[in-house]
Amino acid sequence: MAPVSDTAKPSETLRTHLRAATMVAHDLLDHAMQAASGWQQRQDYARFLALQHAARAPIEGWLKTHAPGDLCPPLQTPLIARDLAELGVAVPAPAPLFTLGRAAPGHALGTAWVLAGSALGNRAIAKAVARIGGGEWPVAFLGDGAMMSFWQELRARIERPAPPAEAAAATQAAEAVFAHFLAVAETGHAPDRTLESADA
């Protein structure tokens, strides 16, 4: 299959473009997370949460430094830490630094899109966790309403065509975030990843 271009078509919404551009990466991550956790026992769920915390911590740090306030999703790592504590599991060390190089317009948007969009998948995972865990496993992270609210607000921003440079930078950032998560899921840690800004 030919790779999807970073450049969105003039009539294409940014959301449609991002979904098409990252479809393969998204599927790979879903499978990797499933394989990494197993989803059969309490320790499987704890491992999933630990992987999520390790991956998200450096991304949240990057957003805090580089993203405007309206593109900073609600912090998820404190919620994950709370769930891990209830499971009696220590918070893991964060994955290595997440960076996009010199920040470009669109980088924060693409990064926020991946984190916020994951809240949709979390709803489905929460149902599985409730079933497998008999309703006894903590779900502060999976059931976070603040992230869903942020996602709804973000949708209004991405349900429109974007300038080519912004679309390209958003796509680069989204791909980098997926690669970061995938590395954590597969190896337990992520390599440093640097992208040149779209207008470099």
Tell me, what CATH number does 129's domain have?
1.20.910.10
For residue 161, being part of any structural domain is answered with yes
C-alpha distance from residue 13 to each of 26, 159, 162 (Å):
19, 5, 7
Residue 200 lies in a domain: no
**Neighbouring residues of 84: CB distance < 8 A, sequence distance ≥ 6:** 46, 49, 50, 53, 90, 91
104: in domain: yes
Domain residues for the domain of 119 are: 16-22+43-187
Residue 170 domain flag: yes
Domain assignment present for residue 156? The answer is: yes
pLDDT of residue 105: 85
**From CA 35, how far away is CA 32, in angstroms rounded?**
5
| Residue-level pLDDT, tens digit, the chain, 200 residues | 334 445 555 568 999 999 999 998 888 887 777 765 566 789 889 989 999 999 999 999 999 999 999 999 999 999 999 999 999 999 988 777 788 877 888 999 999 999 999 998 888 889 889 998 899 999 999 999 999 999 999 998 899 988 899 999 999 999 999 999 988 888 765 444 444 433 33
Assigned domain for 30 exists: no
Domain count along the chain: 1
pLDDT on residue 128: 87
- Cβ distance 51 to 185 under 8 Å? yes
Is residue 106 a contact partner of residue 167, using CB atoms and an 8 Å limit? yes
pLDDT confidence of residue 194:
43
Position 3 in a domain: no
Neighbours of 192 (CB within 10 A): 11
Asked if residue 48 is part of any domain, the answer here is yes
